[in-house]
Structure formats: structure tokens, C-alpha cells
Chain A
Amino acid sequence: MNTRNLVIGIVVMIVVIVAAYFALQGGAGAQEIKVGALYNIGGFMGSIDAPAANGVKLAVKQINEAGGINGKKIKLILIDTKSDQTETAAAAKRLVQEGVVAMIGYGDTNFARIAGEIAQANKIPFITSGATHPLLPQWVGNYMFLAAFGDNAQAAAVAEYAVKKLGYKKVVVWVDVEMDFSRAVCTYFVDAFKHYTGDPNSIVYIDTFHTNDKDYSAQIARLKDKMKSEKIDAIYIGATPGNVGLIIKQIRDAGIDLPILGEDGFDTPEMVKVAGKAAEGTIFATHVSLDVPPNDRVKKFIEAYQKEYGRKPENAFAALGYDAMMLLAEAIKKAGSTDPTAIKNALEQIKGFPAVTGTITYSPQSHVPQKAVSVLQVKNGKFVTLEQLTPEYMPPAELALNPIP
């Protein structure tokens, strides 16, 4: 009994001493700029947030190796919030207390919003690397910035490409009713497609499915039925990494050879892995093609990532994390100060910043970058860039408040 208590006591003491040692070590020198990063490296968001966190770390390393910003090194405090919203709030409040000059984080709208609101309340800029809801800055406030384009931009880009380049006039839309992202992009796509064709009846019909469905034969049967009576040019699917491969495979197995369109939910190695040859020809929009780099910036990023982590970037979120940090560094350099509000004002002045995922421009009115969307196609199992375009027409962000169906 007594030895047991002794052992437990000793273990607890060791833990406390070690923790105290690390906690005290955390103090930054005067010549350092403290930046906070919040990501869900553990938990259900891990596949999206872990690569993004690696992207941020890579950017910090490169900035510091190049001598830092205005002679000061960056000290990154990267906190894993484990896909737990109570941890998100705790970590954001801790960063405020640590006195960070800005925060970066998250590939999910709700997590970005919880942390963003705490940053906003303390007047600290927050750049979300991967969240794509175009209303986020409006909800949170003027210290919130998106590094990625909004969902309305990518949906409009696919609609524009389909109508102007491919000449499609009639499409069918499949929406995942359980997935907020899917409903938002499908809503924007329907609006943009009607705009580009000028035909309110250009959406033949809208069908629904669920995130974890394994069998899509009902939707396929309805599609086949409709194809008999009407001319359909393509199917637009609001699929996400978990189901995109399966859906495409089942459509092709049923003998339907209509072109398939989608958004950055398609940007996953899983699509080709699951669907195999069936994925050939699929067209989708995303942030950047990492398979076939469209320019030197992307090539350099991929090489640096490979060198640092021993593998290629897992997805576009790695590039977005890298971009968010580089963007922040640019703003600090421009501001010439580490005052959070000065950094926020400098971010609003950024014009034509050459990021890996495209050119970023902000303004005081718009904290969602107007940047080019990459339209990709699967060719021989690789994602090849067809075009990088900035859509002419942007569906109003508010549409997603009343999504289809």
C-alpha cells in the first residue's frame, strides 16, 4: 500500500517537474516574433489538419533560415487541439495569454470560428488556412482572413469551365444532404450554372445521397431513367474524400459515361485508388495540382516538403498551411511592426501575393482572397491542370444560408 503510493507520488512529481521545465522554457526572447498555430493533428480532422500543420512548420523553418522577418526570428507555438472544441477555446485563450501577434489554423469552418471569435475579441488577426466558408469573415469580424478561396468561387469556376469551354447546357446535381460543405457548393453551383447558361431550367434535377452510403444504385437508376427522356451533358456531384471514389466507380460500372464534375472534395488520392480507371476524365476544382505542378513555385514547395518530411504533400491543405504562414510573414514585413492591429491592416493591403495555391489579394472589404481556382482533370491516374481561372461571376455568399435541397 505504502510503496504503491510512493511509486504513484514519484511518477506524478516527475511529470510535474518535466512539464514545469518545458513550460518555463517557452519564454520567447525579445528578438522573436511569437505566432500561434492551432490544428487538430489528432482526432477526426487529422487527415486535413496534420498536413496543414506541417506546411506551417515548413514555412517557419524557411523564414528563419533566411534570417527571419526584419531581423527577428519567428517562434511558432503549434498546439494540437485534438478535434475537441473545448481544447480549441482553451488553446486560443492560451495563445492570447502568451501574447502571440497572430494566429493561423484549421481546415474546418466551426473550429476556425470558435478560435477566430476569441482572436477577434482580443484584436489579434486569425488566418484560417483551409476553411472555405465565404461568410466566415462576416460572422467573426474584421480580424478574420481566409487563405483559401470561398466555396462560391470554386463552384463558379467549375460552372464557368463547363459552360464556356465544354459547352454543357444541361446538368444533373447530386448533393450530400448530411455534409454542410456539399450543400453549400451545390447551392453555389446551381446558381452559377444557371447564370452562365442563362437558362433557369439548365439543372435537369437534383438528387440526394448521404455521406456514408455504400450503394448508389437508386440514384443511378433515376439518372438512367431521366437520360432516356432528356439530353444530359454532365453530372455534378458534391462528394467528399470518403465517398467520391465509390460514387464514380458505381456510376461507371452501371455503364453511364456522362462526364463527372466536382469540387475540392475530389482532391484526394482515394479517388483514383478506389475508382481506378473509372476516375479517368473526371473534372474538378481545387487549390492547386500537386501531381503535375503548374509552375516553379509549386515545384519548389513540393521539393522542400519532400525533403523535410520524406514524403510528398498529402493534399492541398499542406500548401494552404504553408501559404497562410508566408502570407502572415509578408504582412509583418510590410507592417514593419509586430502590433496585431498593424499586421491586420497590412494584411488588408496585400495585393498579388504569389502563394503556392495562387495569387492572393485582400482588401478591407474582402477578407476572402480573390484568387485563381485550378480546374483539374484525371489523366492516367494523375491530376493535370486544365486551367487556372478566376470566375467572372461570383454567386452571393449568403445563398449558403438557405442551401438546396
Chain B
Amino acid sequence: MRYAKRVLLTALIGAALLLLIDSFASGYHMYLIELMGIYAILTVSLGLTNGFTDVFSLGHVGFMAVGAYTASLLTFPLEKRPSYFPELPEILKGAYLPYPAALIVGGLLAAAIAFVIGFPVLRLRGHYLAVATLGFMAVVYSLLLNMEPITRGALGISGIPEYTNIWWIYLWLGLTIYVTWRIVDSYHGRAMIAIREDSIAAQSLGIDTFRYRLVAFVIGAFFAGVAGGLYAHLITLIDPRAFSFVLTFNIIIMLIVGGMYTISGAWLGAVLFTVLMQVLKPVEESTGLYGLVELIFSALLVAIMIYKPRGILEEELPTVVRRWLKAGEESKRS
């Protein structure tokens, strides 16, 4: 419980900040802050597998899609269901859940799927694992396109109630960061990092590598599923194309640029990505060079890989801040 006070204080400061944003931000800026939060949930939860446990998964968006469709179906207004989903299976016709519960169910379903596919997939290593998880994403995409009675295929689900707001997003981001931090900062997290650094050495010390990889994979999938539900109720329309390779790689870029071996790096990547994207847009528009943003991002990724392969934040933010303060003291002394 030694963290309790600090956690509470952080939460309070966060809430005050949100209140400030909520009362002053315009529609556009509000949306960007919301989007940033959802991306941050995705990157922090992906960091648990890709960063801390060395399970390079490309299937995160697949879990997000599962969560998004599940939550949307559960909150979809009952009276609109017959006209939107004429062939809906009997069980789903009356299945309604309030928004918070629907988010959790979406996350749990994603986690359950991660658990099942984790058994074969996590026996693979490195590139093979990356390709297998990418395959999972392709399977999800194909299912969404073809399970028409439930997903409405290429048409997508529209008219989802707009329940998501800044409070829900940042509540979940706080939870994601807290859970990830508690795991990483515990015996289990040390085991995960040991697996990342040298899985054979870790195994020889008695660490069950498969079990830890599975746990990381399942927890990551849960938060991806929740993020999907938040996303669906923010945009209010989902179709299979939204959960494509583009989003997968964008999330990976955010994670790698920010720093995938730290939690602060993961969310910093999400913030930087969202801000930079919008800041660079007017440049594109006034020069007429559409596609410039992608070029800059690619160049940035290459530069980061060369100069800072571990991302912008190699250490957690508090450590960096402490060091920076110390360096200031030293320079003052000299």
C-alpha cells in the first residue's frame, strides 16, 4: 500500500486537469485529446507484450475489433435492432448491457480469444510469431466482412450511441497504466523482463516462459478490447476497414517511437503521434503536398531506429525527471 497515496494524488491531479479540459476545449481539440487517450490505451497495453515480454504481436487491432463489435452490439438500441440486423441470432436479439458493462464484456471476449489462440501462437518466436498474429488480424477482418447477420459486413454498424467521453477514456487509460505498472513493477514483471532479455536464462532459473507470455498476451488483449469499445462509441460507426493494417502499423510506430520498454514511452508515443499528425496537416494543405505526413513519419521512424533504437524514453519518466534535476544541481555546483 506504499503507493496508495501517490496514486490517489496522481488521480486527483488528473481529474482536475480533465475538468479544466472538459470546460474549455473546443470540439476539435476535445476529440484529439480523446483520440490520444484511446491510442495511449492501445500502446500501453501493447507495450506489455511487445515491449516487456518480447512477444512481438501484430494482432492488437484484431482484439480491438473484437471489443468494438461486441460492445457496439450490446449497447445497440433494442428498438433499432430488427431493421439494422434482420438476421440477428436469437440470443443477441434481446442482449442489452449498459455501456460500462459492455466495454468490459468486449474486453473479456478479446481476452478469451487471446487465451485460446495464445496456446498455438505463443509457441512461436520472433518473426514467426509476428506473422502468426498478423494472420489472426487478417482472420478477424475476414470474419467481420462475412459474418453479416452480426456485423453487417462491409456496410459496418452505424448509429452506435455516442457514449464515450473524455472521462471514460481517461478512466480506462488510468486503469491500463496502473495495471501495467503494477505488473511490471512486481515479481511477475521482473520475470517478463528476464524472458525478454534472455528467455533461455530465464527458463533455467525456473521461470515458466510460456505462462508469462500468455498472461501478458491476454491482459494486453483485454485492454485492446476495451479500447475498441471506447473507439466504437466515439466515432459511432465501425466497419471492417477501420481495423486494418494501417492502424496496426500506426500503433506499432507510436510504441517504437515513444519507447516500447517503458510505460511512459508508450503513452508519450501516442501523444506525439496524434499531435504531430494534426500539426503537420496544415503544412500538407498549404503546400498541396498530400502524403507529406506519411513521409515525415517514415523518416522519423528510421531516424529513431538509428539514433535511439529503444525509443525516445529509454527510462521511465520519473527516473528521467530525477536525473534531469540532479544534472541541474551538478551544473549549478560547478
Interface positions of A (Cβ within 8 A of B): 4, 7-8, 11, 15-16, 18-19, 22-23, 25-26, 41-44, 77-80, 82-87, 89-91, 93-94, 96-97, 110, 113-114, 117, 122, 139, 178-180, 401-402
Contact = CB atoms under 8 A, between A and B. Distances in A.
Contacts, number: 106
B86 A402 contact: yes
Given A97-B28, A178-B153, A178-B154, A86 B235 contact: yes
10 contacts: A7-B307, A18-B283, A26-B286, A42-B294, A83-B241, A86-B35, A94-B281, A97-B27, A110-B239, A110-B241
Interface in B238-265: 239, 241-242, 246-247
Contact of A179 (B154, B277, B307): B154
B27 A84 contact: no
B236 interface: yes
B282 interface: yes
B289 to A, nearest CB: 10
A179 B231 CA distance: 24
A84 B246 contact: yes
Contacts of B159: 139
A90 B278 contact: yes
Interface of A is mostly: helix
A113 B154 contact: no
B161 interface: no
B37 to A, nearest CB: 12
A97 B282 CA distance: 14
A263 to B, nearest CB: 17
Contacts of B290: 41-42, 80
Contacts of B308: 4, 8
A44 B242 CA distance: 11
Interface of B: 26-29, 31-32, 35, 83, 86, 145-146, 153-156, 158-159, 231, 234-237, 239, 241-242, 246-247, 276-287, 290-291, 293-294, 296, 303, 307-308
A16 B239 CA distance: 34
What are the 7 closest A-B residue pairs judged by CB atoms, nearest first?
A: A93-B28, A97-B28, A80-B290, A19-B279, A180-B154, A41-B290, A22-B282
B27 A96 contact: yes
Contacts of A178: 145-146, 153-154
A12 B146 CA distance: 45
A93 B31 contact: yes
Given A4-B307, A85-B237, A110-B239, A80 B83 contact: no
A89 B31 contact: yes
B258 to A, nearest CB: 14
A6 B300 CA distance: 15
A180 B153 contact: yes
Nearest to B86: A402
A97 B283 contact: no
Given A23-B282, A86-B231, 13 more contacts: A7-B307, A8-B303, A11-B303, A42-B290, A79-B281, A79-B285, A80-B281, A84-B247, A94-B28, A94-B281, A110-B239, A114-B236, A402-B86
Contacts of A22: 282-283, 286-287
A85 B235 contact: yes
Contacts of B278: 90, 94
B155 A16 contact: no
A43 B246 contact: yes
Contacts of A93: 27-28, 31
A341 to B, nearest CB: 18
Contacts of A83: 241, 246
Contacts of A16: 279
A114 B157 CA distance: 12
Contacts of A97: 26-29
Nearest to B250: A84
B150 to A, nearest CB: 16
Contact of A8 (B242, B283, B307): B307
B280 A139 contact: no
B281 to A, nearest CB: 6
A83 B240 CA distance: 13
Contact of A113 (B27, B158, B279): B158
A171 B223 CA distance: 52
A86 B61 CA distance: 14
